[in-house]
Amino acid sequence: MLRLYSISLVQFKNYQNRSIQFNERIVGISGPNGIGKTNLLDAIHYLCFTKSYFTRIDGNNISQGYDGFRLEGQFEVWDKPEKAICILRETGKKEFSVNDQLYEKFSRHIGHYPCVIIAPDDIQIITGGSEERRRFMDTLLSQLDAVYLQQLINYNKVLQQRNSLLRSFADTGSKDLSLLSVLDEQLVKPGQGIFERRKEFLIAFLPRAKQFYIEIAKSTSRRPASSTAENINLFYTSELLQASFAELLNLNQSKDIMLMRTTSGVHKDELEFTLNEQPFKNMASQGQRKSLLFALKLAEMEALKNEKGFAPILMLDDVFEKLDEERIVNLLQTVCVENDGQVFITDTSSERLVQHLTPLKKPFQLIDLTN
Ligand SMILES: Nc1ncnc2c1ncn2[C@@H]1O[C@H](COP(=O)(O)OP(=O)(O)OP(=O)(O)O)[C@@H](O)[C@H]1O
Ligand SMILES: [Mg+2]
């Protein structure tokens, strides 16, 4: 079991110094635009992932006019209390510790406090470029599998080296093909590993996401005759399904040299979604897109729970927008009642939170950030 009991934020975004206690499993967070609801969720995200969900640059999270920040969370994992601290020093150096043990490699922390966040911009996973969907897969698999995360780190490092070598071929006019083949070898191992893991994982995961979509979209009321059935499908596509990565690198060598970048590999993988056999993002309404996003995230939550033996922390930022009443009820039923993990839900209106949380008949806490 995983719980976050309290958090303290010092010089983090709009929080100069604030401590907040969480004393129920379900926590509603309310307040007007700009009060710091999303920032609070991001602080929790920091403690789970050692970094922000929204920016790669740690310094952006320091309160304006200050030189560093400090976040501290009191967690409980399998009935054992744990204190996680993330400090960004004045020097720009970041430190992360659990029970005063500093991590040498932050990647070691990933997956220790599994967490799933759903934020408004996440709709990009459905509508944006393929890199959004790869990031979704990678965030999930990295929490499940430390080997995968290490392979990903290695892959990206070697990929960059290979791309700069390809660029240097054009710059210098000389081609060091033996160095290229050394890098190819270094790239093949993590690349093939990432592919195998994605493929194996997605075989079970994508059908679960589809089921969650059906659950969210299911209607107890009669739909107008004009509304069509929602037949959605999800596929994993990768060139590596057709040929081994080593073969692909060989096959595409002259193309890569000409284009000065690596044109094949798992950095080109894609998750494809369809609605009634058409590309999902062209066909789907805003509410349907949002439903598919939730379906993916709920399947992520379930996969983490199955692997860890306890539910991840779930953070829902502004999820009520654009969802009809029925879908909101279905979603909350799934995340608050059928799931036993901790849930943080933000909304601008505390009344709307109360209105939606009360019928669930589960204890919940309301935090109004204006107070
Ligand atoms: N580095 C920073 N230093 C100080 N304030 C910051 C910093 N970064 C963001 N903010 C402030 O944080 C506020 C935004 O907070 P946040 O995004 O958490 O609001 P919110 O409650 O989620 O609002 P909304 O309902 O619009 O989503 C803004 O007022 C912004 O100026
Ligand atoms: Mg917000």
215-243 burial, b if ≥16 CB within 10 A, otherwise e? bbbeeeeeeeeeeeebebebebebbbeee
pLDDT tens digit sequence for 121-144: 999 999 999 999 999 999 999 999
pLDDT tens digit sequence for 269-296: 999 999 999 999 899 998 899 999 999 9
In this structure, the number of other CB atoms found within 10 A of the CB of residue 97 comes to 15
Within the chain, which residue ranges are assigned CATH 3.40.50.300? 1-114+312-371
Within the chain, which residue ranges are assigned CATH 1.20.1050.90? 128-220+228-307
Which atom of ligand 1 approaches the CA of 41 most closely? 18
In the prediction, which pLDDT does 354 show?
Answer: 96
Q: 37 CB under 6 A from ligand 1?
A: yes
- For domain 1-114+312-371, which CATH number applies: 3.90.1150.10, 3.30.43.10, 1.25.60.10, 3.40.50.300? 3.40.50.300
Residue type, 17: N
Residues of the chain with pLDDT below 50 are 225-226
Nearest CA-CA partner of 7 in 15, 16, 18: 18
In the prediction, which pLDDT does 226 show?
Answer: 47
Q: 11 CB under 6 A from ligand 1?
A: no
Q: 348 CB under 6 A from ligand 1?
A: yes
Give the C-alpha separation, 109 to 93, whole Å: 17
Ligand 2 centroid distance, CA of 26 (Å): 18
Q: Relative to the alpha carbon of 45, which ligand is closest?
A: 1
- pTM (predicted TM-score): 0.93
Candidate from 39, 88, 320 with most ligand 1 atoms within 8 A of CB, to mutate: 39
Q: 45 CB under 6 A from ligand 1?
A: no
Q: Relative to the alpha carbon of 36, which ligand is closest?
A: 1
Q: Relative to the alpha carbon of 15, which ligand is closest?
A: 1
Q: 33 CB under 6 A from ligand 1?
A: yes
In the prediction, which pLDDT does 224 show?
Answer: 55
What separation in angstroms does the CA of 63 have from each of 16, 36, 86, 187?
7, 12, 15, 40
In the prediction, which pLDDT does 16 show?
Answer: 97
Fold annotation for 128-220+228-307: Glutathione S-transferase Yfyf (Class Pi); Chain A, domain 2 (1.20.1050)
Candidate from 35, 62, 368 with most ligand 1 atoms within 8 A of CB, to mutate: 35
In the prediction, which pLDDT does 215 show?
Answer: 85
